[in-house]
Chain A
Amino acid sequence: MNMSVNYSEISVERIDEGRRRFIVCGTTIAGSMVLGLPSIGLTEVGGDMDGERQIGFFIEINADGSVIIGTNQPEIGQGARTALPMLVAEELDVEWSKVSVRQMPLGIVKTEEGYAWKYGGQGAGGSDGLSSNWDFMREVGATARQQLIRAAAARLNVPASSCRTKPGYVLCDAPAGEIPYGDLVAEAARLDMPAESPPLKDMKDYRIVGKAQNTVDALEIVTGQSRYGIDTVEPDMRYAVIARSPYLNGSVRSFDDTEARKVDGVLDVFEIDGPALGEPYLILASGVAVVATSTWAAIKGRKALRVEWEAGPSATDNSEDFWKQNEEMLKSQGQIVVDDGEYEKAMSDADKVVSRQYQVPFVSHQPLEPQNCYAHVQENFCHVIAPTQSPSGASRAAAAVTGLARESIHIDMTRVGGGFGRRLTNDYVAEACMISQATGWPVKLQWTREDDVKNDFYRPAGLHEMHAGLDTDGKVIAWTQRLASASKYYRRPNMPDENLWQAELYSDDFPRRMVDNMRLEYFHNPIGLPRGSWRAPAHTANAFVIQSFLDEVAHESGQDPLALRLELLGEERELEYGNHGGPTFNPGRLARLITFVADRIDYGTERPDGRGVGIATHFTFGGYAAHAFEVEVSSQGELSIERIIAAIDCGFAVNPNAVEAQLQGGTIDGISTALGLEITVKDGQVQQSNFNDYPLLKIAALPSAFEAHIVPYNNIPTGVGEIGIPSSAPALTNAIFAATGIRIRRLPIGDQLKQAMAA
C-alpha cells in the first residue's frame, strides 16, 4: 500500500481553529517539497493571538519558549507522533524537552482542482510514514527557522546572513542580538515565504534526530490520561452496538426487539443494511443497531434481541473445503505472472528437484482497542472522532453514508490502540455515521471483542507449492512459487481478476533476479471471508514459505542453510524492485544482516539433542531484517524459545528507541501468530470469538534472552513498523527443525509438535 503524499495548490481557504480565525494564503512553490506547507503563510484576521504564536500549520511557539509541533500521521504505536516532530524540532533548532506534540486532524481542503491536503498525505500503512515525511517535516522546521532569522534580521536591521540560531534563540551580530523565538513568531508569520526551501542541517550536527527519544506522551499513557477513540465523550452522546450477521454475506430476515426495548437505557433499535453482495465493503455486515444511554445498556439490549438471519450465499463455506480446493487448483495450470529465463528447460536440466507445500492460514488483526467511532451527522456537517489508520478513508466512508461533501466532514484522530492494518478500512466509521444519521444523535459506536474477531478483513490464507531445481554443484538454477489463495484484492473497486495475484505475490521479492529461471503462478480461490491488509501483508506468508523452503532445499542437497542463502543473496548491489518499498532492493544488505544474527547466536556451534538454531531474513517495504532463534523441544513436544536475536537495517534510525521497539514487537507478533493463531470458517461462520480461542501470546512464552539490534547502513531512513515481522516465524520453525527434525509446513504450529512427538 502506498500512502503517497498528495499535494495540490491551495488558493484561499477560511478555516476555524477554535477562537482564532485565519485566512490561509496559498503561495505555493511549484516543484518544491514544501508545497502545501509551510509555504502557506497564516495571516491573522481577527481574534486574540496573545500567548499563542503559530508559524505555518505545524509550529506554535509560546512566549515562554515552549513549542508545540503538529504531527500529521495517525499514532498506532509505531512512534510517528514522536519521530515526525523530532524532525521538525531538529531543523527548527529548539530543545526537545521544550516540545509537546499536537495531533492534526485530517487536513482536507477543497480547491478548484479538487481536494488538497494541507498537512500533506496522512495515513499509517506500508511503513512509509517516516520515509515519505523525512524531507517534508525537516523542511517545515528549516523554513520556520529561516523565517525567524529573517524576522530578527529585519528587526535589528542587519543582514540575515549575519544571524544564526542556538536552541530557541536567534543570534545576530548586533547589540541585544540574542532574541528568543517566542518574541519573533508574530513577525516571522507575516513574512513572505522564500522562493526556495532553505538548506537542511548536516546530519553530523544532529542533536535530536538519530538519538533515542522516549515516547512523547508516555506520561499520559502510564497515568491513564491518554485518550483513545474509545474514551471519547461528547455532549449528549449516545452509545451504540450492532448485532451483525454471524453468517458471511448473511442478512437480517427479521428481528424482534420487544425484550431489547425493555432494557433500562435502551433508546432505539433498528436495522442496518449490509453491503451489496460482491461489491466493495462500505461496512462488513448487515445487522441490527441498538442505541442506549450507556455502553452496557446497549450490550444488554443487544443480548435481548431476537434476530432471524438469512444465511445467504456463503452458508456452505468451510475451511476444510477451502484447503481441498487449493490442493485441487494446484494440480492445474494457473496464471503465470512471472516467467524469467527458460524455467521448464532449467527444471528438466536440473540434477535435483526439491518440491514442498506450505499452508498459511487466515488470521485476524485484533488490535487491543476494539473498533469504535464517534459520529455526529447533522444537516450540513459531520464530525467524526475515530481511531483510524486512514483519516482520508474515514472521510470517504462518512461521505458515502451521509452524502455530504467531504469538506463538510471533519475527521479528528485519537491515539489508536493498535492498528496492524485493521484500521486502514473504515467500516466502523461508516456504521457510526449510519446510526447517527438515522437517529440524529451524536453516537459512539462500540464493538466488543467478539464483534472484532468475527468481523474483520482477515489476512488471506493460501497453499504455496514450491519447486527448486539444482545443478550438480547444488546451485539453484530454477525456482517456482505456485500459490492458491483467497486474494486480499477481493471486492476491491475497479479490480480486474487478472490483478488479484498482485496482493499475494510481490513479483520482485527474493529470489527474483538471483535465480535465472523463475516462475510465479497464481490461482484465486474465493471464499466469503473478507480480506484486508494485515501487518506487512503478503510478506508474512511469503517470507515463511521462502525461508522455510530454502532450509529444506539446503538440507535436501547437503548444503548449509546459511551458506545457501549467502550464495543466493550475493554481494551488495541494487536490483530493480517495482513493488512497494522500491525502487531498488539490495540483497547484500540481507546477507550482511543474516551473517550478523548467525554470528550472534553462535550458528556454527553444535547443540545437544532437542536444541537447535534457525535463521531467516527478509526485505519488507524498503527495510531489511533478519532473525536467529534458539529453541528447545522436549520429548513430549513442549517448545521453549531459549534465545532470540533480531536485527534490522532501516538505513538510518531516526529514533533508535522506537526502531528497537518495533523490531521487538514485530518479532513477537510473528511468534504469536505462528504459534497459535488461525481463523477458520464452518458453515459460513467464523468459528473463533475471543482471546480464549484466538490466543494472543503472553509474556511467559518469551525468553529473557532477547536481543534487538539496529545495524546502520546509510543516511536514508526507511519505515520500521512492518519490517521486523516477516522473518520471525520462519526463523522459529527452522530452529524447531534443527532441534527435532520436525518440519512445520502448516501454520499455526499449534499442537503439531506434540502430535509428531507422540507418533
Chain B
Amino acid sequence: MISFKVNAKTVSFEGDANTPLLWVLRDHLGLTGSKFACGIGQCGACTVHVDGNAQRSCILPVGAIEDRSITTIEGLAAADGGLHPVQKAWLEIDVPQCGYCQAGQIMATADLLNKHPSPSDRDIDENVTNICRCGTYVRIRNAIHRAAELAEAGE
C-alpha cells in the first residue's frame, strides 16, 4: 500500500505501484481536474505539484511518491476557497477556449511564479512548455504576467 497526501489529505493506493499518478488521481480518487492527453510527458495537461514542484503525473509512477505531498488543480485555491493569483489572472484574461489543457497550464504557471516571481517572456518560453491545441498562448502569456502582478500585490 502506498500512502501520500493529496491536497492536504492523506490517501492510500493498494494497486500496482507502476500505475501513473494521473490515473490514481482520476480513476481511484475521483480528482478529474488533472487531464490525460499524451501519456508521455509531452503536453503537461496532467501537471500537478509534488512537494511544491510541477511534475507531469502521466509518467510518474505512484510508487515513487510514497509520503510525498501532491497538489492538484482542485487544491490550488486556498482552503477558504480564495482563488490562487494564477486562477484569478486566468479568469480576468479569460484564457480558456476548450479549457482542457488549462489546469495543467495553471499548475505549470504557479510553479513558474514560485521560482520566477516576475518572469520575463523568455522565462515563460523556457518553463511553460505545455501544449494548448486551441492556441490560447497569447492570453496565457498575458495571464502569466498578470498573475505575477497579482501575486506581487498580495492578491
Contacts and interface: CB of A to CB of B under 8 A. Distances in A.
Interface of A: 76-79, 214-215, 217-219, 221-228, 230-231, 233, 239, 264-265, 294-296, 300, 366-370, 415-420, 446, 448-450, 657, 661-662, 664-669, 672, 690-692, 696-700, 702, 704, 706, 708
B134 A294 contact: no
B141 interface: yes
Nearest to B101: A368
Contacts of B66: none
Given A222-B91, A367-B133, 10 more contacts: A218-B95, A223-B73, A366-B133, A369-B100, A415-B99, A418-B100, A669-B135, A690-B42, A697-B137, A699-B140
A367 B99 CA distance: 11
A416 B36 CA distance: 14
Contact of A665 (B20, B42, B73, B135): B135
Given A218-B91, A369-B98, A224 B72 contact: yes
Contacts of A228: 35, 100
Contacts of B45: 368
Nearest to B77: A223
The interface centre, meaning the residue of A217, A219, A662, A668 with most chain B CB atoms within 10 A of its CB, is A668
B136 interface: yes
Interface string B118-155: 00010011101111111111111100000000000000
Given A222-B106, A223-B87, A367-B98, A230 B36 contact: yes
B67 interface: no
Contacts of B42: 690-692
Nearest to A703: B121
A408 to B, nearest CB: 29
Contacts of B91: 214, 218-219, 222
The interface centre, meaning the residue of B101, B129, B133 with most chain A CB atoms within 10 A of its CB, is B133
Nearest to A220: B99
Contacts of A78: 97
Contacts of A224: 31-34, 72-74, 76, 103
Nearest to B145: A704
8 contacts: A223-B33, A223-B74, A230-B35, A417-B100, A449-B38, A664-B137, A699-B140, A704-B121
B28 A294 contact: yes
A688 B140 CA distance: 28
A222 B135 contact: no
Contacts of B102: 221-222
A708 B138 contact: yes
Contacts, number: 185
A702 B137 contact: yes
Contact of B30 (A233, A366, A672): A233
Nearest to A418: B98
A233 B28 CA distance: 11
A222 B87 contact: yes
A657 B135 CA distance: 15
The interface centre, meaning the residue of B37, B43, B103 with most chain A CB atoms within 10 A of its CB, is B37
B41 to A, nearest CB: 10
The 9 closest A-B pairs by CB, nearest first: A224-B33, A668-B135, A77-B98, A417-B100, A224-B73, A700-B125, A77-B97, A221-B99, A665-B135
Interface in B9-66: 15-16, 19-20, 23, 26-28, 30-40, 42-43, 45
Contacts of B117: none
B40 A222 contact: no
Contacts of B137: 664, 668, 697-699, 702
Contacts of A214: 91, 94
B141 A704 contact: yes
A366 B138 CA distance: 20
A419 B83 CA distance: 29
Given A225-B33, A449-B37, A698 B129 contact: yes
A700 B129 contact: yes
Contact of A417 (B90, B95, B98): B98
Contact of A699 (B36, B98, B125): B125
B98 A368 contact: yes
Given A231-B32, A368-B43, A691-B38, A664 B98 contact: no
A7 B97 CA distance: 30
Nearest to B34: A224
A77 B134 contact: yes
A419 B28 CA distance: 28
A296 B20 contact: yes
A692 B40 contact: yes
Given A296-B23, A706-B138, A230 B90 contact: no
